[in-house]
Structure formats: C-alpha cells, structure tokens
Amino acid sequence: MTHAAAAFEDAYGRPPEGVWHAPGRVNLIGEHTDYNDGLVLPLALPQGVSVAAARRDDGVLEVRSLQAAAAGHRVRVAELAPGAVAGWAAYPAGVAWALREHGVGGASLLIDSDLPQGAGLSSSAALECATALALCELYGAGPDRAELARLAQRAENEFVGVPCGIMDQSASLLCTAGHALLLDCRSGLSTQVPLALGEEWSLLVVDTRAPRALADGRYADRRAECEQAARLLGVAALRDVTDLPGALRALQAARRPRGLLRRSSGPDTAALQRRVRHVVTENHRVEAAVGLLRAGALGEVGALLTAAHLSLRDQFEVSWPQADTAVDAALRAGARGGRMVGGGFGGSVIVLTPADRAEAVRASIAAAYAERGWEAPAFLEAVPSPGARRLG
C-alpha cells in the first residue's frame, strides 16, 4: 500500500479506488516560448504528486493534502466556478470543474507530494494532472492525454487565474523515461528526444530557495508584453517572427511620435524589443539542443543553457539574484552550462555538469550562498522519468 493510500484510509475511513501519480518537470530549454506558440524541451522528474481517490455519490468534491495544515476543502461539483475555491485546493477543484462536461462527479481526494513547492518544478501542474487522471479513470471519462493536458491548462488559466502555457501539463502527462519531450505548443504535436546522461553527465536541479509568485502579476505582465508585440508586428504569435532584425526595426519605428513634437505615451517598445529577441532566439536554441541530443553531443548543450540564462536575465528580465549566483558558481566549478528554469522571479536552476564535477559544483554553489548569507540551496538529480500513471 502506498503512503497516499494509507493516508486516504485514515482520512476517509475506507480504502481508495486507486492511486495516481504525476511527475514534476524541469524544462531543459525553451522558456517563455510556450504561450508564444513556440517550442519547449522538458523532461519529467522522479518526484511528483500522488492522488489517492474514490468516487462519492453525493456530488461533493473533498480534497485533503498531507502537505497542508488545514483539514481540507469541500465543495459541490455542480457549484464549482472560477473564484469559488482559493489556495492550493483551487488546482484540483479547477480540474473537476473542467471535467464536468465529461461526466465527472463527486470524489474524495488525498494528495501527497515529494516535490518542493515554489521551486519552479511544476508542482501545480503535477497536482492537476494526477487529479485529472484519477477523475477520468474513476468516471470512465474519455479525453486522451493531449486533450487532458489542455483541460488541465484551462483549469489553471480560467479557474485558478494563472495564465500558464501548455508545457507543464503536457510534460507531466506525455514524457517518457530516458527522453525529453519536444513539444510544438501551437500544433500540440510532440516527439520523444533521447536524453542519455549515462555515467558521464549529471543534470542538477538547484532549488534556490527563492519562492516563486507567478500569481503576483509579473508573469502575466510578460505574457501581455509578448501579445502586444505580436499585435504591433501583425503576427498571430511571436513564434511567427522569422526576420528578427526586421521585427526589431518595426518595433523601434512604432516608438516614434507621429506628427508630435513631444514624446508619445505609446508602448514601451524598447522592452518589447527585448521580449521579442528572447522568444525568437530561444526557439532557435531549442532546435539546436534537439539536434545536439540526437547527435549524442549532450555536453555541447551546456553552452545553449548558459546563453538561454543570459537572455532570460537581460532580455526577458525574469531572473533573480540567487539564480544568477548559482549559474556563475556552477560555471566556475567546471559545469558545462546552466540556466534558471520556470516562469522566473524565484524557483530553480538547472545545471549540466560532467558527473565527476558534480560534487564540486554543489560545493561551489553552496559556498556562494553562504558568503551572501542566503538560505542554503537544495539539490535534486534530474533523471528523465515516466509521465503520469496509475500506481495501484
């Protein structure tokens, strides 16, 4: 019996009908490209969220978590609406709301997680996807995994109010062991790309201990800037920009006042130029990384990771001091490359290093944090793992 199953029986006085697990993810490369209809390359982690679940015949959704101090949340599925549930429980409640049209009804859920929250490893999407699998199997609902990812994204966008892209849910549901997932966020098409670390390479995830706060508006601001830039450039999304110098010139021209001597109060096109430069070059970096992985040249991906970090720091302006320090310290200790991951403004860093330098890299980062008086970072080994599945 899993820990979640035993805890479910303790909480509800009966055994669950099953336990489902969905992994967290780390994105190897391709950041802030998903909601721009671009390319991403995530991999699933061994750690994730487990949901023990059983149907109810009273139409009530009750959710409890081993990681939450509160007793739990109860709400009638028929009464679910955006804003009806707050906090962590909004994520599973939003999934039940999105699945109502597929015949999903009441359920008791017990949630357990070994993913660090706020580390940028997509604990929220893992919770959504484990809940979605559980509810679909309990009620015999039929969405395939690609559609289920869309429904989970809709729950986060419309019910929770976080304007995330499709990457996190797709990674949690579609990744396979030993591979990264090349996902075209416009078409929804995906391809498994071999990611063989072997004994030669180590992929470290560094939890910088700076909690993320995507709901505070800054993530939404970046997305709005990308949408504004796309409108000014006359394209559906920044994925469609093929002439980067021309696009930057077009945005520069949009800043000039027309027929006025004083400055225009129009858009901050200098910022929009930086956002466009990052998105366009990041898509190119994803394509380059896929080519290197297929050629068996994993070590060469390191330079792309570092280039991506510099772009996220300087062009997209979503990095934070602990991430910059971790990347710098890792490179000094012999890592091949590293970058911040996730939406930004806190969370984690990913570092590619020769396995025989991994301990030195950890020590270098820890020493740099101690020198600045910061909380010590935590480290995870990123092993490409299976996607969401039933455990029992």
CATH number for the domain spanning 144: value is 3.30.230.10
Distance CA 148, CA 156 (A): 13
Over range 228-251, report the average pLDDT.
97
Split at pLDDT 50, 70, 90, the class of 214 is low
Instruction: Tell me, yes or no, whether 37 and 121 share the same domain.
Output: yes
48-82 tens-digit pLDDT: 999 999 999 999 999 999 998 777 899 999 999 99
Residue 215 CB coordination number (10 Å): 12
- Proportion of the chain in helix, strand, coil states, percent, rounded to 5: 45, 20, 35
* Angle between helical axes of 269-294 and 301-314 (0-180°, round to 10): 170
pLDDT at 218: 86
Instruction: Tell me, yes or no, whether 189 and 205 share the same domain.
Output: no
Report CA-CA distances (Å) from 164 to 31, 116, 121, 220, 372.
12, 19, 14, 9, 33
pLDDT at 259: 47
Closest Cα to residue 170, out of 120, 136, 129?
129
Q: List, in order, residues 6 or more apart from 322 with CB less than 8 Å away.
A: 208, 209, 210, 346, 369, 374, 377
* CA atoms within 13 A of residue 287's CA, in its CB half-sphere: 8
Distance CA 16, CA 54 (A): 5
Beta strand 107-113 with 60-65 is parallel
Which residue range forms the structural domain that includes residue 178? 3-195+385-390
Over range 114-124, report the average pLDDT.
85
pLDDT for 357 beyond 90: yes
Distance CA 103, CA 136 (A): 9
Instruction: Tell me, yes or no, whether 217 and 179 share the same domain.
Output: no
Split at pLDDT 50, 70, 90, the class of 356 is very high
Instruction: Tell me, yes or no, whether 308 and 237 share the same domain.
Output: yes
Report CA-CA distances (Å) from 17 to 38, 45, 51, 118.
39, 25, 11, 30
Return mean pLDDT, the chain. 93
pLDDT for 119 beyond 90: no
Collapsing DSSP to helix, strand or coil, 89 comes out as helix
Instruction: Tell me, yes or no, whether 216 and 274 share the same domain.
Output: yes
Over range 251-274, report the average pLDDT.
72
Across the strands, what pairs with 261? none
Over range 242-267, report the average pLDDT.
74
Instruction: Tell me, yes or no, whether 252 and 183 share the same domain.
Output: no
Q: Which two tokens stand for residue 303?
A: 């330079």
Q: Are 254 and 269 in contact (CB under 8 A)?
A: yes
Over range 31-41, report the average pLDDT.
96
Residue 177 CB coordination number (10 Å): 14
pLDDT at 251: 95
**What type of residue is 353?**
T
Split at pLDDT 50, 70, 90, the class of 260 is very low
Instruction: Tell me, yes or no, whether 84 and 163 share the same domain.
Output: yes
Q: Which two tokens stand for residue 187?
A: 């078409």
Over range 293-316, report the average pLDDT.
98
Report CA-CA distances (Å) from 183 to 63, 188, 205.
31, 7, 21
pLDDT for 255 beyond 90: no
pLDDT at 306: 98
Over range 338-349, report the average pLDDT.
93
Instruction: Tell me, yes or no, whether 119 and 219 share the same domain.
Output: no
Instruction: Tell me, yes or no, whether 155 and 58 share the same domain.
Output: yes
Across the strands, what pairs with 22? 49
Collapsing DSSP to helix, strand or coil, 50 comes out as strand
Instruction: Tell me, yes or no, whether 181 and 309 share the same domain.
Output: no
Cα 102 versus chain centre, distance? 26
Instruction: Tell me, yes or no, whether 211 and 185 share the same domain.
Output: no
Choosing from 57, 168, 268, 324, the catalytic residue is: 168
Q: Are 35 and 282 in contact (CB under 8 A)?
A: no
Closest Cα to residue 170, out of 151, 142, 197, 195?
151
pLDDT for 209 beyond 80: yes
Express as a percent the part of the chain with pLDDT over 70.
Answer: 95
Collapsing DSSP to helix, strand or coil, 177 comes out as coil
CATH number of the domain to which 209 belongs: 3.30.70.890
Over range 210-227, report the average pLDDT.
80
Instruction: Tell me, yes or no, whether 232 and 370 share the same domain.
Output: yes
The count of domains in the chain is: 2
Q: Are 207 and 80 in contact (CB under 8 A)?
A: no
Split at pLDDT 50, 70, 90, the class of 261 is very low
More confident residue, 211 or 362: 362
Q: Are 181 and 149 in contact (CB under 8 A)?
A: no
DSSP 338-381: EEEESSSSSEEEEEEEEGGGHHHHHHHHHHHHHHHTPPPPEEEE
Split at pLDDT 50, 70, 90, the class of 283 is very high
Q: Kind and range of the H or E element at 233?
A: helix 218-233
Across the strands, what pairs with 293? none
Distance CA 149, CA 143 (A): 9
Q: Verify whether residue 356 is a known catalytic residue.
A: no
